[in-house]
Chain A
Amino acid sequence: MDNAKPQLMDRPKAEAKHAASETSGAALVSALDELLGVQADVALDAVPVPHRRVERWKYTPVAAWWKDVLASEVQTVAAAGCEANPVPGLDAYRLVFVNGTFDAAASDLPVHTGVMCMPVSQRGDAPLQSADAFSPEESDWFAGLNGRYSQEGLYLRVAQGVELDRPILIHHHTCGAGVFNVLRHDIALGLNASVKIVQWSTAAAEADGAVNVLTRADVGEGARLHIDKVQDEEGTVRHIAFEDIRQGKASQVEVHTITVRGAWVRNDLAFRINGQGAHAELNGAFLPGEGEFVDNHTTVDHRVPHCTSSENYKGILYGKSTGVFNGKVFVRPDAQQTNAYQQNANILASDMASMNAKPELEIYADDVKCSHGCTVGQFDSDALFYARSRGVGLEAAKAMLVHAFIGDVLKGLAVTEVRLEVEHRLAEKHGWDVWSDHLNDDA
């Protein structure tokens, strides 16, 4: 079809221009310029502050807080009274960042042939990957903030054929008031390299401010990148995270995003599949409680033939919480033989909870297999009654159904210790005394 000329990823920009009459956040920008210094020449006036008339921000309110003037406080996890390793029993290399600053004392960097793994601030002259026309900095004001101000994060290069023996745990911690915790992780994997990364975000109970993390990864031919991303933040921090992922031929990338806790969380994942035979996997589970907001935006851009992508997001919403899922799949005209799958299922566990779910498939190739499903429902009352008729308590029965519901997402996590800790924290948050997998563990 000739008239269906793909606009593809310039759409957010078009919307942005339409909204150009809105404020550009100049006051905040000049405050941050003074506070943090301009790290890169990223102009913020080209893209306006998001507001709800822009499609990508329709369900995601930012007006109430984006202009809060922010301060930056240098801290360490020890001073913050926080454990450096939030995942008990996990044997991993560790990079700890507190309020955007590298905490050397709490970190444990790998010494490994073919691996350069260090905080960005210690990389010397080595260049970072630059943003391009499709990077989030070009179309998203918050990503623009990251581009302009971030000066720290993980710098990782894994050479051809190197498989890192342990996962790398990146721990982001936020504490104090009015903190702007901005980080950019820069990852490049060579031919057939392989690495597992755990991104774990915590915040202290009294913390407020913003967390803004951008992860840019260039995954080379045949390389494998697994990211287990866990958000468990107390306080009232607003967490926005971007993944800008470029995949080479026959590469495999998996990102598993689990939101345990967070007052306001937005994850914006963009996968560009540039090489044939590549596979992208994006899974997520979010269980917001009273007053919490969780938004998952994903974009998978199939640019070449013979690639696959699989996406599975599950939400369970409690109390007066709000969820957003927006899953965009582009299949460009050249991307024949694409196999793309997307699933988003949600349970409203309360009458006050709301979920805004939107699958968006734009397919411009004719020989492809693309499927998607999206549901918003409630707990299965037949299953609950069945369990209760066997003497299982109502809350335990619900916990059992929850575990069954998100079980496939949790099982996908690359690191077992992460899964166990996530289950533990979810059970703690929601007051479940039965977490059915544990029944099996000692059986």
Chain B
Amino acid sequence: MLKINELKASVEEAAILKGLNLTINPGEVHAIMGPNGSGKSTLASVLAGREEYEVEGGSVDFNGADLLDMDATERARAGLFLAFQYPVEIPGVSNINFMRAAVNGKREHEGLEPIKGKAFLDMVKKKAQLVELDGRLRNRSVNEGFSGGEKKRNEIFQMAMLEPELAILDETDSGLDIDALRIVSDGVNAMRSPERSFLVITHYQRLLEYIVPDFVHVLVDGRIVRSGGKELALELEEKGYDWIKEDIVA
């Protein structure tokens, strides 16, 4: 589904990703862990098409298409979703109208008519239950005045609405208490399927107790330096990132 080959990227002329390789097959859940500043969030932003990031080299194939050749909108319509670490507030745009525009954007791409009001509202109701999203939040401005937990639940709600093929969760656990973490994780787990893949970016092992990955990768200084199964996360938790860094130097 996703094949990243020797990806190099920079932001404001500082090289962040320095030759990253990663392959994700349908149905797989991959976790990327790493210390602060290792390039985790840069990877998420580059994959989602954020323009401030400059791709210096390498390639990314998404279901046979050149992902780097698409703009952010096209990537989303092609089935890629990024759950933001810091979801953006958009005052004056209601959550529900925002999602309607998003769903219709995708439908347009698929050659479908815009969704009917009733069908859309039924869909909203169903998907909102998945993350226990309060009905009032649907009509409020996008993320405006939402608590940290509400914002992250809203991200997963949006993911459920758009039914992506590949979902990237960028530090979705940051700022979540244990109840919110459970709700968000349950939402993600309910969406796991043989066709859908996840790339879970996290600093802590805690999230991976709830969203159990098939593979764990350790990102240090812009490269994946170690890959393994879910037990690698536990090892990292126990020994810390310095262990890996020392290991590389040695």
Which residues of A does B touch, CB under 8 Å? 380, 382-383, 385-394, 396-397, 400-401, 403-405, 407-408, 434, 436-437, 439-440, 442-443
* CB–CB A389/B49 < 8 A: yes
**Which secondary structure dominates chain B's binding surface?**
helix
Name the distance in Å between B126's Cβ and chain A's nearest Cβ. Answer: 16
A408 to B93 CA separation, bound complex (whole angstroms) = 11
Chain B, 44-96, CB within 8 A of any chain A CB: 48-51, 71-73, 75-77, 81-82, 84, 87-94, 96
Q: Could you tell me the distance between the alpha carbons of A388 and B75 in the complex, rounded to whole angstroms?
A: 9
| Contact call B97/A393, Cβ cutoff below 8 A | no
* B194: interface (CB < 8 Å): no
Answer whether residue B4 sits at the interface, using C-beta atoms and an 8 A cutoff.
no
B167 → chain A closest CB, angstroms: 12
B148 located at the interface, meaning its Cβ lies under 8 Å from any Cβ of chain A in the complex: no
Instruction: Kindly state whether residue B197 has any CB partner on chain A within 8 Å.
Output: no
Whether A390 and B97, one on each chain, are in contact in the complex, defined by CB atoms closer than 8 angstroms, is no
Among candidates B51, B96, B117, B162, residue contacting A390 with C-beta atoms closer than 8 Å: B162
A-B contact count (CB 8 A): 100
Q: Contact at A408–B92, with CB atoms within 8 Å?
A: yes
A231 to B81, CA, bound (A): 42
B188 to A: closest C-beta gap in Å = 17
Q: Contact: A386 with B87, CB < 8 Å?
A: yes
Residues of B within 8 A of A436 (CB): 93-94, 97-98, 101
Pairwise interchain contact B100-A385, C-beta atoms closer than 8 A: no
Among B91, B99, B141: residue with most chain A CB under 10 A: B91
Chain B's closest residue to A405 (CB) is B92
Given contact pairs A391-B162, A443-B117, enumerate 8 new A-B contacts (beta carbons under 8 Å). A385-B48, A389-B49, A389-B75, A392-B105, A396-B105, A436-B93, A439-B101, A443-B96
Contact B73 A440 (CB under 8 A): no
Cβ–Cβ contact B162 & A385, under 8 A: no
Residues of B89-121 at the interface with A, using a CB-CB cut-off of 8 Å, are 89-94, 96-102, 104-106, 109, 117, 120-121
Whether the Cβ atoms of B49 and A387 lie closer than 8 Å is: no
Among the listed B50, B73, B81, which residue makes an inter-chain contact with A394, where contact means beta carbons less than 8 Å apart?
A: B73
What 6 pairs across the A-B complex have the smallest Cβ distances? A404-B92, A391-B76, A390-B102, A388-B72, A386-B88, A391-B105
Is B158 an interface residue, CB under 8 A from the partner?
Answer: yes
Write out the residue numbers on chain B whose beta carbons fall within 8 Å of the beta carbon of A440.
94, 96-97
Q: Which residue of A lies closest to B76 (CB)?
A: A391
Closest to B50 in A: A385
Flag if B105 contacts A401 (CB, 8 Å): no
Q: In the bound complex, how far is the Cα of B49 from the Cα of A385, in angstroms?
A: 9
Asked if residues B101 and A396 are in contact (CB atoms below 8 Å), the reply is: yes
